[in-house]
Amino acid sequence: MHPTDDCPCGSGEPFGRCCLPLHRGETQAQTAEALMRARYSGYAVGDLDYVWQTWHPRTRPAELGSDPGLIWIGLQILDTVDGQPGDQTGEVEFRARYRAGGRTGTLHERSRFAVRARRWFYVDGDLFD
């Protein structure tokens, strides 16, 4: 993905001014929603190192595998609870659309985030059917 392309997170901003600086470590997410969007973009562009690094150390897997047949095609933020600057926790409910094997699907989750060492981390989430 080129920095001038629209950011996969759906913000309407160019990738180079939206999620790419977070992926490169040039800046940190200021809210739980910003981290949610950047993590989605990480999955969408294949930057699983960023996804892994922003997963809370007590809940993250030993490693992340990629599915080359899975293409993320859209993110919709449905709800946020807390997760603002100064908060210690937050929740973001979202739907992420994907395409795999010629079929489309949706991942619907309410994710929990927490601040650790003054940075937001993804903790875990509850999936909806």
Quick: pLDDT tens for 74-107.
999 999 999 999 999 999 999 999 999 889 999 9
Q: Quick one: tokens of 58?
A: 């007590």
Domain boundaries, the chain: 6-128
Q: Using the CB atoms, write b or e for 58-86: b if 16+ within 10 Å.
A: eebeeeeeeeeeeebebbebeebeebeee
> Does residue 66 have a pLDDT over 90?
no
Query: What pLDDT, on a 0 to 100 scale, did the predictor assign at position 67?
Result: 86
Q: Report how far residue 23's alpha carbon sits from residue 39's, in angstroms, rounded to the nearest whole number.
A: 9
Average pLDDT of span 109-123: 97
Average pLDDT of span 69-78: 95
As a whole number, the mean pLDDT across the chain is 96
Cα 85 to chain centroid distance, Å, stands at 17
Residue positions counted in the chain: 129
Would you identify the CATH topology of the domain 6-128? Nuclear Transport Factor 2; Chain: A, (3.10.450)
> Does residue 20 have a pLDDT over 90?
yes
> Does residue 1 have a pLDDT over 90?
no
CB 106 within 8 A of CB 97: yes
Residue with the bigger pLDDT between 1 and 121: it is: 121
Q: Considering the chain, what percentage of its residues have pLDDT values greater than 70?
A: 100
Query: What pLDDT, on a 0 to 100 scale, did the predictor assign at position 129?
Result: 80
Query: What pLDDT, on a 0 to 100 scale, did the predictor assign at position 5?
Result: 94
